[in-house]
Amino acid sequence: MRKRTTHPWIFSNQLLKTFGDFEDGDVVDIVAPDNSYIGRGYINRKSKIAVRLISLEPRNEKQLIKDRIHDAVCRRANFLKSEDACRLIYSEADWLPGLIVDKYGQYLVIQINTLGMEKLKPVVLQTLIKEIEPAGIYEKSDSSSRKKEGLEKVCEWVYKSGPELIPYEVNQMKFLADTKGQKTGAFLDQRMNALLLKDFAAEKVCLDAFSYTGNFALHLLRFGAKHVTLMDYSERSLQVASEILRINGFEKRFETVKANVFDELRNYESKNRTFDLVVLDPPSFAKSRSSISSAARGHKEVNLRAMRLLRKPGILVSASCTQVLFRQDFEKILLKAAEDNHVELAVLQEGCQPPDHPVILSIPETRYLKFIITEVRRRY
C-alpha cells in the first residue's frame, strides 16, 4: 500500500497488492511500494476495513496481544484500585482493534467484533485470566458488525460462570450489568457525567428518556429529585432498572414507562405533561457518515420535543454517542431545536468520555461521546 500515517485502519482501496497464502482473519505484514515497513495487523478481504493494525513493528502476534492487554491493565491501575467497575480494554484506543472488555465487580464481560480478534480469542482469554484473575468471563459478542465479519453471535460464559445480572458498584451506588441487555450489559462511559447532575436534581420532577437500566435515574434520586419517570422501549431494561432502584433503597418516587420515546414525548406534549429536568441519552442514530443526515434529524426531533416538555427555565441534559456526529454538529442541532422552539439555551456543564475510554488524537474514531447540560429559558 501507499505510505500512510499511524492510524490503525487500512481500507480495501488502499491495498495495492497481496502476496503469499493467507486466510481472512490471519495476521499479515503491510509494506509500502518502496518496501518500507508499515505495520502488522489482521486482514479480512470481506470488510471495507481490510486490515486493522495491531503493531507498527514486526512482532509475534501472540506475545503482542499479551503485552497490549498487560499495558491496558496497567493504564487502568488507579481505576482497579479505587473503582469496582471500569472499561479494561477499549479496542483501537488500546491497539486491540475489535476487542472490548468491561470489568463489573469480580467479573469480566468481553465483546469481540472482528474476525481477526476472534482468531486471537484463546490468547486474549488466557491473558485476561492471568492479569485479572476474574471470578468469571462472559462473552457478549452480539453486535451487528460480527455478521459483516462472517461471524455468528456468541453470548455465553467462556470462563467459569456467574449471575445473569452481574452486581457492581459505581459512585457508591449498587448496579446490575445485564448479560441479556445492551452492549456489555451496562454503560460505564456515563458514570462520571452522571455525577454532574448533583447540582441540578434537588426537588426536581424528572424524565430519564432512553433510560435503559436507570443510571441517570438513580443518580437523580440520590441527589434529591422529587420524582423520576424512566422511559424505554425495553420491558426487561425497565424491570432491571426497577430492581436497581429498589436495592438502593428507592421503593417510591419513580415510575417506569415502556414506550417509543419519540412517540411518547409527542403524547406527553398533547397532554401538557411537563418536567423540571429531562435527560436524553439515546442509542447511536448512525454508524457511518452516509447516515449522518438521519442521525441529525433524530437528535433534533427528540431534543425539540424534550424542550417543549420543560417548565421554563428547565434543565435539559442531552447526550449523543453517535461517533460520526461531531461535537460542533451536535451543538448546532441543539441550537436549531431551540430556535424552532423560540427558547434560549445556556450551557451549564459539559462532559465527555471517562479516562478508561481514552481518546487517541490520531484515531478520531475513539472520540464519540457528547454530554451537555443546558438551561432552557424563555426568550426575553
> Please, how many CA atoms are within 13 Å of residue 122, restricted to the half-sphere of its CB?
3
Grid coordinates of 61: 502476534
Say if 270 falls within a structural domain.
yes
Mapped to the 3 state alphabet, what secondary structure does the chain carry?
CCCCCCCCEEEHHHCCCCCCCCCCCCEEEEECCCCCEEEEEEECCCCCEEEEEEECCCCCHHHHHHHHHHHHHHHCHHHHHHCCEEEEEEHHHHCCCCEEEEEECCEEEEEECCHHHHHCHHHHHHHHHHHHCCCEEEEEECCCHHHHCCCCCEEEEEEECCCCEEEEEECCEEEEEECCCCCCCCCHHHCCHHHHHHHCCCCCEEEEECCCCCHHHHHHHHCCCCEEEEEECCHHHHHHHHHHHHHCCCCCCEEEEECCHHHHHHHHHHCCCCEEEEEECCCCCCCCHHHHHHHHHHHHHHHHHHHHHEEEEEEEEEEECCCCCCHHHHHHHHHHHHHHHCEEEEEEEEECCCCCCCCECCEHHHCCCEEEEEEEEECC
Give the list of residues 6+ apart from residue 298 with CB closer than 8 angstroms, or none. 282, 285
Tens of pLDDT, residues 77-105: 998 999 999 999 999 999 999 999 999 99
Please give the tally of structural domains in the chain. 3
Looking at the structure, tell me whether residues 265 and 368 fall in a common domain.
Answer: yes
Looking at the structure, tell me whether residues 308 and 230 fall in a common domain.
Answer: yes
| Torsions phi, psi for 53 (to 5 deg) | -70, 140
Say if 178 falls within a structural domain.
no
Q: Please report the pLDDT score of residue 29 as a whole number.
A: 95
Grid coordinates of 1: 500500500
Looking at the structure, tell me whether residues 268 and 140 fall in a common domain.
Answer: no
Looking at the structure, tell me whether residues 202 and 342 fall in a common domain.
Answer: yes
Alpha-carbon distance of 121 to 146, in angstroms, equals: 14
Peptide bond into 313 cis (omega under 30): yes
Q: State the distance between the two ends of the chain, measured CA to CA, in whole angstroms.
A: 59
A 10 A CB-CB count for 88 gives 26
Say if 169 falls within a structural domain.
no
Q: Please report the pLDDT score of residue 5 as a whole number.
A: 60
**CA geometry: angle 173, 176, 177, nearest 5 deg:** 130
Read off the CATH number of the domain in which 27 is found.
2.30.130.10
Say if 19 falls within a structural domain.
yes
Say if 191 falls within a structural domain.
yes
Mapped to the 3 state alphabet, what secondary structure does 132-157 carry?
HCCCEEEEEECCCHHHHCCCCCEEEE
Looking at the structure, tell me whether residues 152 and 265 fall in a common domain.
Answer: no
> Please, how many CA atoms are within 13 Å of residue 214, restricted to the half-sphere of its CB?
32
Question: Where is the domain boundary, 163, 195, 223?
Answer: 163
Length in residues, the chain: 380
Say if 76 falls within a structural domain.
yes
Tens of pLDDT, residues 267-297: 999 999 999 999 999 999 877 777 889 899 9
> Please, how many CA atoms are within 13 Å of residue 242, restricted to the half-sphere of its CB?
13
Looking at the structure, tell me whether residues 297 and 239 fall in a common domain.
Answer: yes
Looking at the structure, tell me whether residues 225 and 149 fall in a common domain.
Answer: no
Strands 99-104 and 107-112 come out as: antiparallel
Active site residue 155: no
Residues of the chain with pLDDT under 50: 2
Looking at the structure, tell me whether residues 118 and 34 fall in a common domain.
Answer: no
Q: Please report the pLDDT score of residue 380 as a whole number.
A: 76
Alpha-carbon distance of 207 to 220, in angstroms, equals: 10
* Domain range enclosing 70: 61-163
Q: Please report the pLDDT score of residue 288 as a whole number.
A: 75
Catalytic residue among 74, 86, 206, 321: 321
Looking at the structure, tell me whether residues 233 and 326 fall in a common domain.
Answer: yes
Which residues face 285 on adjacent strands?
none
Only one residue has cell 469481540, namely: 112
Say if 299 falls within a structural domain.
yes
Looking at the structure, tell me whether residues 152 and 37 fall in a common domain.
Answer: no
Looking at the structure, tell me whether residues 114 and 238 fall in a common domain.
Answer: no
Read off the CATH number of the domain in which 135 is found.
3.30.750.80
Q: How many angstroms separate the Cα of 270 from the Cα of each of 79, 264, 369?
A: 46, 10, 32
C-alpha Rg value of the chain to the nearest Å = 22
Say if 255 falls within a structural domain.
yes
Read off the CATH number of the domain in which 368 is found.
3.40.50.150
Alpha-carbon distance of 150 to 115, in angstroms, equals: 7
Grid coordinates of 336: 436549531
Grid coordinates of 350: 459539559
Looking at the structure, tell me whether residues 153 and 76 fall in a common domain.
Answer: yes
Q: Please report the pLDDT score of residue 109 as a whole number.
A: 98
Alpha-carbon distance of 326 to 338, in angstroms, equals: 19
